[in-house]
Amino acid sequence: MAFAGGMTVFPGGGVDLRDAEQDLDWQGEQPQWWAREFATDTATATALVAAAVRETFEECGVLLASDAAGRFPAPGDLAHARADLVAKDLSLAGLLRSRNLTLRADLLRPMAHWVTPESEPRRYDTRFFLAALPEGQEADGRTTEALSTGWATPAHALAEWERHHHMLLPPTWTQLTDLAAYSCVEDALAAHRPITAIMPTQVSDGTVPLAFDGAQDYFRFARL
């Protein structure tokens, strides 16, 4: 990857222009609520949530959408649609409309907002989401964007990082550290996290290379 090659990261990716399509059957907190949480406009909030749902499906095969009875698609039922999404031959709204599915924003929660430092040649403005895996679905990790994929508890992922078995960027480390404090998915989802944009800054005093909340703990083990 041109950016963050070799790092262990969460599934994700860029917003597609079609992610902002308004013709979506939507369950859960509405775009206006997401706009307030992420301090943005409604159209951008719609695109961010849709992009999170689309990328999770493209990279993991997990679709946060259900039919009118609340049933989630069975694994493998949407393999062709998944490939069409990856190829950009289909939009998320088009997929959901064709299958009479409802986007389940109620399964998502806002988690963080990070911006790459000004010193980086590639700049990203990234929102992080937390989601519960729908019953009956399975994350398969079939994506060309990763060398390997897998599940790990936050504590295990952090322990492996401290042993230098893999590498984590500050945003990933921070989210894992947050999640490691919870004993179950329900508690992690129920926690309210005020979202403010975090942009690490370069430090010239020789203490740590970048300044952000928790940097001292991060740089005790980090290899960048």
The tally of domains found in the chain comes to 1
* 4 in any annotated domain: no
Neighbours of 45 (CB within 10 A): 24
> Domain for residue 27, yes or no?
yes
Q: Is residue 57 part of a domain?
A: yes
Block residue for tokens 């729908």: 134
The CATH number of whichever domain residue 52 belongs to comes to 3.90.79.10
Q: Is 9 helix (H, G, I), strand (E, B) or coil?
A: coil
Three-point CA angle 43, 41, 110, nearest 5°:
90
pTM of the model: 0.91
Q: Flag whether 8 is in a domain.
A: no
Q: Tell whether 223 is covered by a domain.
A: no
Q: Which two tokens stand for residue 87?
A: 């190829």
Domain membership of residue 88 (yes or no) is: yes
pLDDT tens digit at each of 224 positions of the chain: 666 677 888 988 899 989 988 778 999 999 999 999 999 999 999 999 999 999 999 999 999 999 999 999 887 789 999 999 999 999 999 999 999 999 999 999 999 999 988 887 888 899 999 998 998 888 887 877 777 888 899 999 999 999 999 999 999 999 999 999 999 999 999 999 999 999 998 887 667 788 999 898 998 887 65
CA 202 vs CA 7, 78, 117: distances in Å: 20, 45, 8
Residue 182 lies in a domain: yes
Domain of residue 143 covers 17-218
- Whether the CB-CB separation of 76 and 90 falls below 8 Å is answered with no
Residue 122 covered by a domain: yes
